[in-house]
Amino acid sequence: MGLLIGTSSKMNLTSTQAAAYLGALRPMLEGLTDRGLFVLLPFTSIWVARERLTGSNIRWGAQDVHPEDAGAHTGDVSAPMLADLGCTYVEVGHHERRRDYGETDELVAAKVAAAQRWGMTALVCVGEVEHEPFDRVVAHLDRQLALLAAADSRRLVVAYEPAWAIGVGATAAPPEWVGQVHGAIRARLASSGPDAATIPILYGGSVDAAGAPALLEQPEVDGLFVGRQALDPRVFATIAHTSVG
């Protein structure tokens, strides 16, 4: 499919706001068929994505999922609920979920399995908290990726999101660093089977329109997972249209 470019709106965009956002974004991305495109909205706005994006070249999905399919889990949302809303992607393991809710690698792996059971692609966020030497980063990533060995590589996307490069005031990691880390992630995934070459590896961490070309030119960077910059549909469209080579 080529590049994969997507965004998570985090805890932004009410249903009304999402309708306006997607209404503006869809025509900006029409005709862009040489890459995959997706948006991940809050649970309350996913129905809007199904309504506004069906028949378009933009897929939609959720920012989290419960590992169980049903049961006494008040306030949680299951994979079959998301599949029923037409979700293609489900984000799991974001740094903020790990930090705020104590999510472990084991829980992340269970959420991956839930999403894949219902035919959706799990987008797994990995990355280090502090800017550490390369060998320590690789050791940290090895632990996060080890539990994905049993996952279906055909329905898996990995997003490298170093926590130190996320949030207001943060700076995107240098492109050369991103390329180096993505190479290490590819090597780790390859150890789990030959199909690992098909797993897209995205970079997400203070991605903006100015820095997108240099990031996409790095080895093993298969796309971008954009954060707050994409809340402006014009900026997200600009990033989505980034040419490489």
**For residue 90, what is the domain's CATH number?**
3.20.20.70
Question: Annotated catalytic residue: which of 91, 103, 128, 161?
Answer: 161
Contact (CB, 8 A) for 168 and 228:
yes
Give CA–CA dist 90/156, Å, rounded: 10
Which DSSP helix (H) or strand (E) runs through 202? Answer: strand 201-203
Give tens-digit pLDDT for 195-242. Answer: 887 899 999 988 999 999 999 999 899 999 999 999 999 999 999 999
Pairing label, strands 36-40, 4-8:
parallel
How many structural domains is the chain composed of? 1
Q: What is the tens place of the pLDDT at every residue in 125-142? A: 999 999 999 999 999 999
Q: How many angstroms separate the CA atoms of 215 and 222, rounded?
A: 10
Does any domain span residue 236?
Answer: yes
Q: What is the pLDDT of residue 172?
A: 74
The answer to whether residue 232 is domain-embedded is yes
Distance, in Å, from the CA atom of 92 to the CA atom of 144, rounded to the nearest integer, reads 12
Residue 245, domain member (yes or no): no
Q: Which domain holds residue 94?
A: 4-240
The predicted model gives 107-121 an average pLDDT of: 98
Q: In 3D, which of 96, 118, 243 has the Cα closest to residue 167? A: 96
pTM of the model: 0.96
Options 94, 103, 128, 220, the catalytic residue? 94
pLDDT of res. 137: 93
94 is catalytic: yes
